[in-house]
Structure 1
Amino acid sequence: MHASTTHRKTVVTALARTVAAALLATFAVTGLGATPALAEGDVAWTVRTASNSYGADRSSFSYAVNPGGQAQDAMVVANRGKAPLDLSVYTADGYTTGTGQLDLLTRDKKSVGIGAWVHADRERVAIQPGETVEIPFTVTVAGNATPGDYAGGIVTSLTQPDAAQGVNVERRLGIRIKLRVSGALKPGLAIEDLHVDYSGSFWNPFTKRDATVTYRIHNTGNAILTARQTVSVSGPFGWLRADAGEVKSPPDLLPGESWTMTVPVHGVATSGRLAATATLTPLLTDASGSTTSLKQVQASAHSWAIPWALLLLILILVAAVAGVYLLMRRNRARRKLREDARVRKAVEQALREKSTQPS
């Protein structure tokens, strides 16, 4: 295995341990912890939002700024360990991982939103044991910024050698930043590539089976959205409908992101032509934390659930009926032929007898 691959896997493992102890529930590597993860010896510092005009005891940073506008805030870092810390400080754009968590781009990746507009007043901070340091930062939104929602974070990072692995390991703690650039907000979700798979029974077509409905939710607007969902599968004309029940909501999707849903639907009848329908109710959260339900989005797809054993039985019955009919028809024809022959013979016999009688 290459050293770079080992390094990446080691970093991911260290970050996962850090998340479990001190990060926000909705973020994989950005968050806030009241107590450092000293038990595992991974992290000896904490981060929190500063108390100021934006509020106290905030779980994250959130701003609404006009294009070209600014906002100023600060993050507080505390060294809870027994040794001095030399931490790097940087900002980065966020993205949704495959597990539904918000993660941040690494420093070597280019940021175009939060990571490009948010700047701390220093790139490194040295903190003595027991010391607390406030790190101011400025949000400067580009004048040509597209209206809508952006997500990212401000991060403190410590790189240390790992003797066991023989590589350097980066441990990160940070706080998320949500930014809404003023302008026309156009939230929108789309359902794409919807299809349904059915696991019917060949031998028992009357047993209800499971179907799996798969589709992709695409955030086509400029606002962060999640959604309530319902999924159902029905037979022809909407008959024999089966509902999936409660469907887990997708994570908060950033503009442009997609999320694949795989939803099992139980108790689906083998009814021939199946129709699968997914319905989304997009949910928009404003700066105050209030959630608004938007216009529903719906999509459908079709598949076949053919009762092969039943069809085979029907074909056998049809063939049997047709065979009996043909046999009966053939027997009637034979009886008619025999009756016609008997009549002809009787007529011929009568004619012969008449011709032999004296005049």
Structure 2
Amino acid sequence: MHSTSRPATVAGAVARAVVVVLLAVAGLAGVGTGLAAGADAVPWTVRTAANEFGSDRNNYSYTVDPGGRIEDGLVVANHGTTSLDLAVYSADAFTTDAGQLDLVTEDATSTGVGAWVDPGQDHLTIQPGQSAEVPFAVTVPENATAGDHMGGIVTSLTQGGVERRVGIRIQLRVGGGLKPGLSVEGLGVHYSGTPNPFGKGDATTTYTIRNTGNVILSARQAVSLSGPFGSWPVPSGQIDDSPRLLPGETWQVSVPFRGVVSALQLTGTVTLVPLLTDAAGSTAPLPAVENTTHAWAIPWGLFLLIAVMCVLVVAVLAFRRRQAKISPE
């Protein structure tokens, strides 16, 4: 039902199975440390370092002005029985087709947070039962755009061609004017019709949500479908909120409708309420945006029935005229 247009990884990543674990809040990748979806648990965990930013953080979150610099740390613990030689790198984030936060692979080129974060080392060897802290610095360019930027710091181990990754997300809010915004693009209604002259058909409304602003937003969605002048409205049913979209990202939506009257013309309307989540985790709705489109819903079955009836009437009248002409006076 949903698909997204997202940054693509390089071709080499296609041939490599990748397992990603991200520490994230609700609405993003909901897997926890030490777990790998669809795979065995990895033998190591990661957590944020305890320092002036806090001692019990789920992820890294900073507000910094362009040109600013932040120093922090990542703690890696080996819970296995053998030593681990882990790669350490930073990467940009994106939203997957499933609506979860992910990070691009190491061989992909990062241009945002992944390029701004500099881990103190690119490899780390940890003995069984031991832990180590990896310092890293975040340097925001002078020309960085205001608003939200997302990435992460990753530890990874490749065995048998499978890369297993455990990381923590890094969210940066660069100082400057915040301009939240969503748009509805490519709105269309497709009516499939019905051969029953007096029946109702199905319709599908499709559209793309685009984050046109500079902050991370999700969208509360409402879709309506009706005939001329609001007649024969059809409810869409419950539509889930979109995932949180990074600035510039898109989310494609398809909403089915059942029991739609062939009303010659249909009106489809999409209303989005942008949802902004602050650093404390509370969500605030913003002013709604709306888009409307029209589509034909021609009752071909009814038209065919009327045409057949007209033909029959004409045929009967013609037959009667011929009979009247040949009747004896």
TM over 0.5: yes
* Residue equivalent to 2:290: 298
In angstroms, what is the RMSD of aligned CA positions? 2.8
Corresponding position: 1:267 with 2:259: yes
The answer for the alignment partner of 1:47 in structure 2 is 46
2:208 paired residue number? 216
Which residue is equivalent to 1:11?
Answer: 17
C-alpha separation in 2, matches of 1:126 and 1:171: 16
Deviation, 1:113, is 1.3
Q: CA deviation at 1:174?
A: 0.2
| Cα contact 1:232–1:265 (8 A) shared by 2 | no
Structure 2 partner of 1:289: 281
Q: Which residue in 2 is equivalent to 1:175?
A: 168
Equivalent pair of 2:119/2:137 in contact (CA under 8 Å): yes
- Cα shift at 1:70: 2.0
Distance in 1, matches of 2:114 and 2:39, equals 30
Q: CA deviation at 1:131?
A: 0.6
Counterparts in 2 of 1:41 and 1:321: CA distance versus 1, 3 Å: closer
Q: For structure 2, list consecutive stretches of 5 or more residues without a partner in the other structure.
A: 1-9
Task: Tell me which residue corresponds to 1:56.
Answer: 55
- CA positional deviation for 1:293: 1.2
What pairs with 1:268-347 in structure 2 (closer than 5 Å)?
268-318=260-310
Letter in 2 for 1:146: T
**1:250 counterpart SS class:** coil
The residue type equivalent to 1:50 in the other structure is: A
For 1:6 and 1:312, the matched residues in 2 are separated by 56
1:36 offset after TM fit, Å?
5.6
What amino acid maps onto 2:190 in structure 1? Answer: D
Percent of paired sites with the same residue: 53
Aligned ranges 1:125-140 → 2 under 5 Å: 125-140=124-139
TM-score of the pair, normalised by structure 1:
0.79
Higher helix share: 1
SS in 2 for 1:315: helix
Q: Give, in whole Å, the separation in 2 of the partners of 1:237 and 1:87.
A: 64
Q: Relative to structure 1, is the Cα distance of residues 54 and 266 closer, same or farther in structure 2, using a 3 angstrom cutoff?
A: farther
The structure with the larger Rg is 1
Given the superposition, is the C-alpha separation of residues 196 and 40 from structure 1 closer, same or farther in structure 2, using an over 3 Å criterion?
closer
Contact 2:86–2:125 (Cα < 8 Å) also in 1 = yes
Q: How many residues align?
A: 314
Give the Cα separation in 1 of the matches to 2:177 and 2:166: 34
Q: Residues 33-63 of structure 1, C-alpha deviation per residue, up to 9 Å, x if partnerless?
A: 1x566x9655210111223332333221111
Structure with the larger strand share? 2
SS at match of 2:229: helix
When residues 71 and 196 of structure 1 are mapped into structure 2, their CA distance, relative to the original with a 3 A threshold, is same
Question: How far apart are the structure 1 equivalents of 2:98 and 2:245?
Answer: 12
Taking the aligned partners of 1:290 and 1:89, their CA distance within structure 2 comes to 32
What runs of 5+ residues in structure 1 fail to find an aligned partner? Answer: 163-167, 339-359
- Residue 100 of structure 1 pairs with residue 99 of structure 2: yes
In the alignment, does 2:160 pair up with 1:153?
Answer: no
**TM-score, structure 2 length as denominator?**
0.86
State whether residues 27 and 244 of structure 2, in contact with CA within 8 Å, keep that contact through their aligned partners in structure 1.
no
How many angstroms apart in 2 are the aligned matches of 1:232 and 1:218?
Answer: 19
Structure 1 residue 196 corresponds to structure 2 residue 195: no
**CA distance in 2: counterparts of 1:107 and 1:182, whole angstroms:** 28
**Deviation (angstroms), 1:246:** 1.3
Distance 2:204 2:55 in 1: 46
For 2:319 and 2:276, the matched residues in 1 are separated by: 72
Task: Give, in whole Å, the separation in 2 of the partners of 1:293 and 1:36.
Answer: 33
| 1:289-320 CA-partner distances (Å, limit 9, x unpaired) | 22221121111222222112222233344556
Instruction: Check 1:7–1:277 CA distance in 2 against 1; reply closer, same or farther (3 A cut).
Output: closer
Letter in 2 for 1:237: F
1:295 and 1:326 map into 2 onto residues whose CA distance is 65
Give the number of the structure with larger relative contact order, counting CA–CA contacts within 8 Å between residues 6 or more apart: 2
- Residues 81 and 129 in structure 1, CA contact (< 8 A), matched pair in contact too: yes
Q: 1:266 to 1:188 in 2, by over 3 A?
A: same
String of CA shifts for 1:195-231, please: whole Å, max 9, x gaps. Answer: 11122211x2333332111111111111111100011
Distance 1:313 1:27, change over 3 A: closer
The one-character-per-residue Cα deviations of 1:71-118 (angstroms, maximum 9, x if unpaired) are 222221110000011111111111112222222122222212111111
Q: Cα offset for 1:148? A: 0.9
